[in-house]
Amino acid sequence: MKQFFKIMLASIAAMIVMGALFFFITFGIIGSLISSAESDKEVKIKDNSVMHIKFTEPIPDRTSDNPFENFDFGKMQPSKQLGLDKILKTIEKAKTDDRIKGIYLDLNVVNGGMATIEEIRNALEGFKSTGKWIVSYSEIYTQKGYYLASVADKIYLNPAGMMELRGLSSELMFFKNALAKLDVDMQVIRHGKFKSAVEPFMLEKMSESNRNQMQLILNTTWGSMLEKVAASRKISIEKINELADGIKIQKAIDAKNEGFVDEIMYKDELLDMFKEKLEVATYEDINFIELAKYLSASKDPLKELKEKTSEPSSNQIAVVYASGDIVSGKGEKDQMGSETISKAIREARLDSNVKAIVLRVNSPGGSAMASDVMWREVILAKKVKPVVVSMGNVAASGGYYISCAADKIVADEKTITGSIGVFGLIPNAQGFFNNKLGITFDTVKTNTHADMLTIFRPLTQEEKDIIQIGVENIYDDFITKVAEGRGMTKEQVDSIGQGRVWTGIDAKKIGLVDEIGGINKAIEIAQSLAKMEDFTLTAYPKAEKNPFNELLITLSGDMEAYFMKKQMGEGYKYFRAVERLSTQQGILARMPYEIEIH
């Protein structure tokens, strides 16, 4: 009995401690949200202001207005992360705001994909077209950072700083020999000679077909970057490549001498330049305002109240944001769940106020089954209203699968798309358990192939043939749907399919994409197809109505992710990539690799 009371009292104490911890965390979060909200209310945009833009946070396609969804546990305050949707909206607002005289690009860190950066660069070009100025300053310009900076009227660099100029490269990791040391055999079933997601498990280096497609992607992306930099800075493409080949830009003065930057200066000299430009007396008189602050400060409370209390607009364009690895069900925060996205498309289709749908796709693919579920909803929506796809950084494999039925497909120049192919991976770890750990297995089954997908024995040839037939059937279904959606023959799709990956520029040349542009271009096309003059935008999936549910999800899921990120650092993204791949079920339609440009 004494033991029982000890256990009971210990359990009660643990519950009290956990409850108190939850109370303090919850009210700490709520307090910081209230504090943040109050500080936002105090923000007023002064005349003669400069918008200060930094991209230190990752840039998703969309961030929620729900403060519980984006919370920084390290600082115990709402994250300052802005989605591309809000960044573009903010720059557009600043174009016609007489209080904003110019933009200061602070580009020490640029945390976004190339297609995302392309859309922001285009928005900045639009800002400049009004006659307003843009200046850029950094201590270090990465190649991606400089590409964005090249839109500026003036580019400045710290005297002790540097500018990267060396071209693009791609490094792939191969696991074949490591798996051999562990006595693990990765059994691969695929269709598509370019479906190179499986190559790291089969080979020690890139196949020739994979090397060719990677070279084309790098050449196209680099060529597009150089074309715009050359035009902005009046430096020939040949000269830029010559400097890159020789690594000739090693110091800040080299960048100035070759015309990549206008002046080298320290931060105090930059502030002096702003004083002169704005005609003010002291540093304190320079009115810098950050993107997030400007967005909250420039909201019109009366207009927002009117929009909330009035009837919904009868002319709406629904923007359905579909991002992340494709999985069945609802999916997690960074996944594209087939149930979640299907529901969003269905709601937009059934809403009579929605006259057109823009499906924003940012995904390397994933489950072939889940992709097909969402494709079906696109087909149904297309029957009753225009559907336009806007491709983000990546819309490949399963991401292309759900896109191919749309009336129009719009991609950025640097979007990675295509990868029309299918594969399956089944590890055979029998040797590892038998030879390395001394573990053996025995099986009882009712039918011949009841244990076909076990990792504890190799597939028989008959079983490999059965799975290969499944892969071929899914591939045939894939190219059939692409052919129907794009007005091509299956043979034409197969010739540009086979798992091959393309940039947006090359995808347009071969008919996989209709137009080059960002999400605003897609919205313009949707408006034209729906024959509307005025419209409002409505974002899907709709936000969670109960913010405390979001808080509970955040506390249970994001805290774990936060602490793992802190422990693993740069290695966390590789851990997540392996984890996502290992939890996928069924046959996959997924891009072979993840591409990052720095």
Q: Which residues are catalytic?
A: 195, 397
Is the CB of residue 103 less than 8 Å from the CB of residue 127?
A: yes
- CB-based contacts of 419: which residues, under 8 Å, 6+ apart? 194, 195, 364, 365, 396, 397, 400, 499, 500, 501, 589, 590, 591, 592
**Secondary structure (3-state) at 76:** coil
- CB-based contacts of 195: which residues, under 8 Å, 6+ apart? 419, 421, 422, 423, 498, 499, 592
For 396, list phi and psi in degrees, rounded to 5: -120, 155
Q: What residues pair up with 335 in beta bridges, in sequence order? A: 325
Is the CB of residue 86 less than 8 Å from the CB of residue 137?
A: no
Q: Which amino acid is at 62?
A: R
Q: Residue 462 belongs to what H/E stretch?
A: helix 461-486
Centroid of chain to Cα 139 = 26
d(Cα 563, Cα 80) in Å, to the nearest integer?
19
For 173, list phi and psi in degrees, rounded to 5: -100, 135
d(Cα 78, Cα 76) in Å, to the nearest integer?
7
Q: Which amino acid is at 329?
A: G
Is the CB of residue 265 less than 8 Å from the CB of residue 158?
A: yes
What is the DSSP track for 155-218? EEEEEEEEE--S---------HHHHHHTT-EEEEEEE-TT-GGGHHHH-SS--HHHHHHHHHHH
d(Cα 203, Cα 207) in Å, to the nearest integer?
8
**Among 147, 212, 203, 149, residue whose Cα is nearest residue 176:** 203
What is the DSSP track for 428-440? E-HHIIIIIS---
- CB-based contacts of 153: which residues, under 8 Å, 6+ apart? 128, 133, 134, 135
